């Protein structure tokens, strides 16, 4: 999908992904308009000041919980990137209805708006936490994935198509282990929940490139999973603070020892491409032909952070650290 001359709508547009995506779109493409949608007026005013004089940006205050507002804001849009979500695991556990309202009902509202306005492409951002979820955040994102996939059936007779991008932890994101370890390193002591723990890692620029590069591959209903490296927490600690004392605190509620991006059950209807896996819907009634891109994934395949052959070493991560800054 050529983004030049297109009108692009980004929910959660003042978040970490949204701001970086806006910058990439303005620098590497020539969209007609980017509509920045979020509920934080302060962050919007800061972003307006940062891009003072940029005529391709429009700022929309609103909440994805408000269907009418989303429908009105997406008229004439060519692409929706749905990045808005409540993401902090403890906050979602303590406020379950709020998490459901934003992450589940919000996804339903975005779908309804895209269908009402026949938006050609809608991409949902999801997470490895949605796979066999053990916390509410993951459960709400799993529901969002299902809503977005099935939206293609509701819109089968229209131009609107929907897909999902599912990836792992963003390097340096707020609350993740890397900035925590970096903050603790000077004290000579770092806290580790469990040294066996492993996670998938992706940088923010890589995530944006992957999201935008999936647009030409969309036929509707896919869950795109990038091939990305994993790393164990003990190697992260070694890379950031090799001489620090390690204090094991124990795994926290809602956490797993390892994360999964593609399950054995999903492998039965998944294809492998050079840079990703594509989980396609089992009953794509809106398609005329079977999904033909890539090769079928072998039955029983599981893409897990602990068995991922692409494991970052302490040296590889350490090489990234001089330029690594926490994602705002």
Instruction: Give me the residue spans of the domains in the chain.
Output: 7-168+202-228+260-308
- Residue written as token pair 């308009």: 33
Identified catalytic residue from 19, 129, 141, 256: 129
Whether 25 has a pLDDT exceeding 80, the answer reads yes
Residue 239, pLDDT score: 84
d(CA 37, CA 75): 13
The first and second tokens of residue 92, run together, are 């979602």
Residue pLDDT, tens place only, 217-228: 999 999 999 999
Whether 288 has a pLDDT exceeding 80, the answer reads no
CA distances from residue 119 to 103, 161, 162, 247 in whole angstroms, order as listed: 20, 8, 9, 51
pLDDT band at 326 (very low <50, low <70, confident <90, very high): very low
Q: What is the signed CA dihedral for 181, 204, 113, 67, rounded to 10 degrees?
A: 20
CA distances from residue 302 to 80, 164, 202, 254, 268 in whole angstroms, order as listed: 30, 19, 19, 21, 11
The first and second tokens of residue 196, run together, are 């066996």
Contact 270, 297 (CB under 8 A): yes
d(CA 197, CA 257): 4
* % of residues, the chain, pLDDT over 90: 75
Contact 218, 148 (CB under 8 A): no
Classify residue 90 by burial, with Cβ atoms within 10 Å: 0-12, 13-18, 19+.
Answer: middle
pTM of this structure: 0.94
Whether 92 has a pLDDT exceeding 70, the answer reads yes
Known active-site residue 129: yes
d(CA 107, CA 318): 38
Average pLDDT, the chain: 92
Q: Strand 270-272 vs strand 295-296: parallel, antiparallel, or unpaired?
A: antiparallel
Residue pLDDT, tens place only, 142-183: 999 999 999 999 999 999 999 999 999 988 676 678 888 888
d(CA 266, CA 61): 38
CATH class of 7-168+202-228+260-308: alpha beta
- Residue written as token pair 């979820």: 133
Beta-carbon contacts of 47 under 8 Å, excluding residues fewer than 6 positions away, are 13, 14, 19, 22, 36, 57, 59
Mean pLDDT comparison of 88-92, 217-221, 223-227, 240-244, highest-scoring range: 223-227
The first and second tokens of residue 286, run together, are 């809106």
Whether 323 has a pLDDT exceeding 70, the answer reads no
């Amino acid at each position: 999908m050529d983004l030049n001359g297109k009108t692009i709508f980004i929910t959660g547009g003042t978040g970490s992904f949204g701001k970086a995506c806006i910058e990439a779109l303005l620098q590497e493409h020539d969209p007609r308009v980017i509509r920045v949608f979020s509920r934080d007026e302060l962050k919007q005013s800061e972003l307006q000041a940062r891009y003072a004089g940029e005529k391709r940006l429009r700022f929309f205050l609103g909440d994805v919980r408000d269907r009418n507002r989303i429908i009105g804001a997406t008229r004439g849009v060519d692409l929706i990137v749905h990045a808005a979500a409540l993401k902090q695991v403890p906050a979602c556990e303590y406020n379950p209805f709020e998490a459901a309202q934003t992450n589940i009902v919000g996804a339903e509202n975005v779908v309804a708006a895209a269908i009402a306005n026949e938006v050609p492409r809608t991409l949902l951002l999801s997470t490895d936490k949605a796979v066999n979820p053990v916390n509410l955040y993951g459960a709400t994102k799993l529901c969002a994935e299902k809503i977005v996939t099935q939206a293609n059936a509701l819109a089968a007779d229209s131009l609107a198509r929907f897909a999902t991008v599912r990836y792992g932890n963003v390097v340096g994101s707020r609350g993740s282990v890397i900035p925590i370890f970096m903050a603790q390193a000077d004290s000579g002591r770092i806290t580790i929940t469990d040294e066996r723990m492993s996670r998938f890692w992706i940088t923010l620029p890589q995530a944006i490139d992957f999201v935008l590069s999936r647009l030409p591959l969309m036929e509707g209903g896919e869950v795109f999973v990038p091939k990305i490296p994993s790393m164990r927490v003990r190697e992260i600690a070694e890379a950031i603070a090799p001489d620090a004392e390690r204090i094991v605190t124990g795994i926290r509620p809602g956490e797993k020892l390892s994360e999964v991006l593609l399950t054995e059950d999903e492998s039965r209807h998944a294809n492998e491409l050079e840079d990703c896996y594509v989980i396609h819907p089992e009953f794509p009634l809106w398609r005329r032909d079977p999904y033909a891109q890539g090769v079928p994934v072998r039955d029983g395949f599981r893409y897990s952070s602990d068995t991922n052959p692409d494991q970052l070493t302490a040296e590889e991560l350490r090489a990234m650290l001089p330029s690594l800054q926490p994602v705002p």
